[in-house]
Amino acid sequence: METILTSPTQTVRIGPDHPFVIIGERINPTGRKLLAAQMAAWNFDRVRNDSLAQVAAGARMLDVNAGIPLADEPAILVEAIRVVQSVVEVPLSIDSSIVKALEAGLNAYQGKPLVNSVTAEEERLEAVLPLIARHKAAVIGIANDETGISEDANVRFQIAKKIVLRAESYGIPREDVLIDPLAMPVGAVRYAGATLFTLVRRLREELGVNACCGASNISFGLPDRPALNAAFLAMAIASGMNCAITNALEPEMKKSILAADVMMGHDENCATWLGTHRAAQGDAAGADAGAAARAARRERRSARQ
């Protein structure tokens, strides 16, 4: 079962036979004061730079969020999407909790986007799913409802199932619904990781849907978070997770994802692993050459003195 997202020039396939897809999380003003101030002032320099940097680091899609308090979110989201699509070619995830903003974003987007997100709350389902159906987009369904986030994997599975079935009732095919099983902090909820792995496996085996999650919440409050996130991602991939909205610039997580792709047999001939290794060696050799040149210049200067 493949989820297909497109831009005018690129197609991204998410599914159990494909490499893991990193959706870059950086274009999100939540907790980023400078980015929020710029976007509110209609300055998209950081949006542009963050787009280029994330794609250069390996993000195959970018999440775009314009949630700034008191600002005109629909208008800013539309402009952010326009700007991002003008500088990079990857498909986007349109991220908002405001239905009007999602609608404006869907109208502005060129291609088939992912929409982030809908919960199983009745009001959200009835507002968001018709939009997804009309625009033939794909959507992330989040496994919580009016009762909050259950710690019981079975409850969360039933909530995910409700989203998938309701989407189908609107004519949205199952492959266009990605479920986010919700990673809770393992420092506070001991079995948060184990529950999520079980849930991802059941989503695959019983509902046949793809799964997507944030990949840093799991380590909230603990030291050495990149190492925890790296192990979490590899384990989630082994359980059937297909993509994550995460920081493409974090090297430990990136390496773990590439290694996990090798282990799943999704990196044919280990080509991406070998290519990444060679590129890193090239950078190191470049740095060594630079250091050698600098040392040579210093020696020449000393000799002249």
Among 215, 235, 244, 248, binds a copy of itself (CB under 8 A): 235
Residue 194 makes contact with a copy of itself by CB under 8 A: yes
Residue 205 makes contact with a copy of itself by CB under 8 A: no
Per-residue x/- marks for a copy of itself, 161-190, CB under 8 A? -------------------------xx--x
Q: Which is nearer to a copy of itself, 274 or 295 (CB)?
A: 274
Residue 228 makes contact with a copy of itself by CB under 8 A: yes
The residue count for binding a copy of itself (CB under 8 A) is: 36
Among 265, 300, 302, 304, binds a copy of itself (CB under 8 A): 265
Residues of span 241-260 touching a copy of itself by CB under 8 A? 255-256, 259-260
Complete DSSP assignment for the chain: --EEEE-SS-EEEESTTS--EEEEEEE--TT-HHHHHHHHTT--HHHHHHHHHHHHTT-SEEEEE---TTS-HHHHHHHHHHHHHHH--S-EEEE-S-HHHHHHHHHH-SS--EEEEEES-HHHHHHHHHHHHHHT-EEEEES-BTTB--S-HHHHHHHHHHHHHHHHHTT--GGGEEEE-----TTTSTTHHHHHHHHHHHIIIII--EEEEESSGGGTT-SSHHHHHHHHHHHHHHHT--EEEE-TT-HHHHHHHHHHHHHHT-SGGGHHHHHHHHHHHHHHHHHHHHHHHHHHHHHHHHHH-
Residue 57 makes contact with a copy of itself by CB under 8 A: no
Among 122, 151, 224, 288, binds a copy of itself (CB under 8 A): 224
Among 37, 56, 263, 296, binds a copy of itself (CB under 8 A): 263
Could you list the residues that contact a copy of itself (CB under 8 A)? 186-187, 190-194, 197, 218, 222-224, 227-228, 230-232, 234-239, 255-256, 259-260, 262-265, 268, 270, 273-274, 277
